Structure 1
Amino acid sequence: MHRRHQIMLDTAMTFYLPDTLARWPWPRTISPHFGKVDAASAAWFLQFKALQPKSQKAFDRGRFGLLAALAFPRASEEHFLAACNLMRLLFFIDEYTDVSDAAAAREVADIAVDALKNPHKARPEGEIVIGELVRKFWAETIESASAASQRHFIKQFADYIYMVITEAADRDAGICRTIEDYLAVRRGTVATRPSFMPLELPLEIPDEVYFHPVVTKLIDYISELIIIDNDIASYNREQSTGDENHNLITAVMHQFNCDVGSAMAWAAGYHDEIEGKFINGLKAVPSWGPVIDKQLHEYLDGIANWVQANYSWGFESERYHGTRGSEIQRTRIVPLLPREKPNPEVHKDGVIVASIDM
């Protein structure tokens, strides 16, 4: 285990939440457009009537506009609106597919990708709401998107949503993967690459730069840091609802036959290792000339800021710690939630009609 983060549980009913970003060089920042634009984005999402009122209230507690504000603090007002809408779209897909079997997840993926590739084509009558959500989002976003950002987003979104099928198949079979196998799947299902898209909207990063092995590796490192922080934050909620198998902490506990506190310490130590690899990897980025280098630096700085954004949002929203986020951030002590009786979402006519557990 990694000694720097090895802290014993206070009791069998609590665990210690490691401070993984104590040495991360990117500080918390927030968009000046947050209040006004987030309200517009919330109204945009409501027009689709994707959720019943009770579910919508629970969904809103996730404060997905806040995540966008923390992740894209320097975006223009127009691009920040696209970022807010994207966060709501991706988290809605996440909620929808989290209770889908593999066949239903494939249907969602096929519909969403078709809508993305045909943003000006009307969706079929009676289709689930995700089709129109994706179509409308992309039709509006591409009005101010660079050609490169459009190409990259379509690929990265498709890669993400088709990997969700694998997660659903694992859930159907009750599979808990090894750490290595889990991370291979999770790099896709965490949806970081499509989430980074608003950073690219004003940029024209050529494919040979964006897909260069050094750049790809840096993006992978950032994705892993976000995975670790997300899975640390979400473990308590997921273990309480019986949905913890697609989580790094569970994979570590199974592989090393250890308790949750030791698994948290291992994950935090792994976070330290990946941090170092990213910082050192920045020194190996090739030069493509001043114009491209400036754009690439802006993009890499933006994805590095995403790590801090995701971490801060985990405490400032109610998605993982309810109303106790600030207290838990201060004390680092998390009360272990009791196991709940299964209460799955119900999909009916493209609407989630059960309440969303937060």
Structure 2
Amino acid sequence: MQIVLPDILRTLAYARHLNPHYDEAKVESSLWIQSLVEKLFDQKGQKAFQKDYTSLLASLMYSHQDKEFLRVGCDMMNLFFVYDEYTDVVSPETAHKLSQIVVDAMKNPDERSSYGEHPIGDKAKEFWRLAVTLLPAMGSNSGVCKSRFIQRTEEYLNAVTVEALDRDAGTIHSVKEYLTMRRATSGAGLMLALIEFGLDLPKAVLEHEVIQALEGYAMDLYSLLNDMHSYASELSSGQANHNLITVVMHENPSLSLQGAFDWLGSYAATVVDRFQTNVRNLPSFCNVEGPAGEGVDETLQERINRYIRGLGQVVRAEDDWAFETTRYYGEEGQKIRETRLLMIKPIKTNYAKACSKAT
């Protein structure tokens, strides 16, 4: 069946940009994650993982960051891609235990976990030790940044566990329930939280209603894009129940498959509009006091602007990456990007399901 993909980001004011440190960071991060991939997947699975270009996604997202930041971004992407694929094929009980191990690894990176040891937990500790080096040594908000990232990690991992339970039960949620869940299961919150590292943004700024609205819209757009691009492969691997296309059609039985894609496109257009409206209405934070009564923080507004640009780049990156990797469209990504025409056909993409050593 041929589907016309909606061009969700046609009006989004952020362009594709690849971090100039991509090649170097990719090599380093690939070598770092290789030992974990070898432990969890067989040779066929390892080869498939290498084709997914996870470092490319990080380099499109964090396109204006320096080499040190990008390396952390690549490590994060590699770690959680492995986690996501691995937990797709283990029991909900195992997924829950793994989530506890990973969160504990970040909270206590220098201690043995009371939840047990696992290779994924070991890599989580290594990732976190490197990530915190991005925080300013004298920053007053480093604690806020770390706690927010760990909270987003916990939300994501808990949501993945619930997704595993739903998968076992064959549950299909309502559209409203699904959209709420998807913010967490997409992992977008993690990707956005990493942008804060090094910006030293005050809690009062991060909790401002406009900033929180922008974060929510960015997570929604990332999720909508991911569901649009991944639908065909998830349908083939039997995992399409946790996809907005399936959810919309389940709630609206008379809707065709093309109608569901059109619904997603229309809904996404409203989210893009809300995101850009909030960017235009961003208040001035130039009167916020600096740390320890040091007076007005004159660089804060510029750092906030960098954060907002980062949100937009994360969204743009997901769309560009989907066409530039082989994960969803094989070798036809560029053609599909140009024509917007997608032929729904069987594609096996979950290398963990076919090739893992999961138990």
Normalised by the length of structure 2, the TM-score is 0.89
CA offsets per residue over residues 177-210 of structure 1, 9 Å max, x none?
1111101111111111111233222110112211
Pair 1:318-2:318 in alignment: no
Give 1:137's aligned residue. Answer: 127
Distance (whole Å) between structure 1 residues aligned to residue 84 and residue 181 of structure 2:
15
Instruction: Determine the C-alpha separation between the residues in 2 that align with 1:295 and 1:180.
Output: 34
Please tell me whether the aligned partners of residues 86 and 352 of structure 2 are also in contact (alpha carbons under 8 angstroms). no
Within 2, Cα distance between the matches of 1:110 and 1:41?
Answer: 24
Task: Please name the residue that 1:275 is paired with.
Answer: 272
Distance between the aligned counterparts of 1:174 and 1:158, measured in 2?
24
Q: 1:169 aligns with which of 162, 165, 171?
A: 165
Distance in 2, Cα, partners of 1:343 & 1:292: 44
**Matching residue of 2:248:** 252
Task: Give ranges in structure 2 of 5+ residues lacking alignment.
Answer: 137-141, 287-297
Contact 2:19 2:60 in 1 (8 A): yes
CA distance, structure 2, for counterparts of residue 166 and residue 108 of structure 1: 13
Pairing partner for 1:42 from 26, 30, 33: 30
Please name the residue that 1:119 is paired with.
109
Measured after TM superposition, the shift of residue 123 of structure 1 is: 5.3
**Contact between 2:25 and 2:71, CA under 8 Å: does it hold in 1?**
yes
Equivalent position of 1:299 in the other structure: 307
Deviation at 1:97, TM superposition (A): 1.6
Letter in structure 2 aligned against 1:107 = K
Does 2:89 match 1:89?
no
Structure 1 residues 35 and 245 mapped into 2: Cα distance closer, same or farther (>3 Å)?
Answer: same
2: CA distance, partners of 1:23 / 1:327: 21
Q: Which runs of 4+ in 1 moved over 6 A?
A: none
Sequence identity percentage: 32
Counterpart of 2:217 in structure 1: which amino acid?
A: Y
3-state SS of 1:233 partner: helix
Count, aligned residues: 337
Mark the CA change 1:143 to 1:165 in structure 2 (over 3 Å): closer, same or farther.
same
Mapped partners of 1:123, 1:137: distance in 2: 16
Aligned partners of 1:206 and 1:312: how far apart in 2?
32
On the 8 A contact 1:218/1:281 being kept in 2, the answer is yes
The answer for the alignment partner of 2:281 in structure 1 is 284
Q: List per-residue Cα deviations over 1:207-234 (Å, max 9, x = no partner).
A: 2211222211110101111111110000
Answer whether contact 1:221 1:275 (CA < 8 A) is retained: yes
- Give the conservation status (yes or no) of the 8 Å contact 1:71–1:302: yes
Q: Is the 8 Å Cα contact of residues 109 and 162 (structure 1) preserved in structure 2? A: yes
Secondary structure at 2:342's aligned position in 1? Answer: strand
In the alignment, is the contact (CA less than 8 A) between 1:75 and 1:199 conserved in 2?
Answer: no
Where 1:345 maps in the other structure, the secondary structure is helix
Q: How many angstroms does 1:292 deviate by?
A: 2.2
C-alpha RMSD over aligned residues: 2.1
- CA distance in structure 2 between the partners assigned to 1:162 and 1:126 by the alignment: 17
Distance 2:115 2:153 in 1: 24
With over 3 angstroms needed to count, the CA separation of the structure-2 counterparts of 1:343 and 1:24, relative to structure 1, is: closer
Letter in 2 for 1:25: A
1:212 to 203, 208, 222: 208
3-state SS, counterpart of residue 47 of structure 1: helix
Distance 1:99 1:132 in 2: 20
Measure the CA separation in 2 of the matches of 1:70 and 1:339: 25
Other structure's SS at 1:262 match: helix
**Which of 317, 322, 329 lines up with 1:309 in the alignment?**
317
User: Which residue in 2 is equivalent to 1:263?
Assistant: 260
Q: CA deviation at 1:346?
A: 7.9
**1:96, CA displacement in angstroms?**
1.3
Instruction: Determine the structure 2 residue equivalent to 1:159.
Output: 155
Equivalent residue for 2:91? 101
> C-alpha separation between the residues in 2 aligned to 1:126 and 1:90?
19
2:186 paired with 1:190: yes
- The answer to whether the Cα contact below 8 Å between 2:201 and 2:303 also exists between their aligned partners in 1 is yes
Q: CA deviation at 1:143?
A: 2.0
Q: CA deviation at 1:125?
A: 11
Pair 1:14-2:2 in alignment: yes
TM-score, normalised by the number of residues in structure 1: 0.89
Give the letter for the 1:22 counterpart: R
> What is the identity, as a one-letter code, of the residue corresponding to 1:272?
A
Gap change, CA 1:103 and 1:143, over 3 Å in 2: same
5+ residue gaps, structure 1: 1-12
SS at match of 1:121: coil
Between the aligned partners of 2:344 and 2:189, the Cα distance in structure 1 is 31
Please tell me whether residue 345 in structure 1 is matched to residue 349 in structure 2. Answer: no
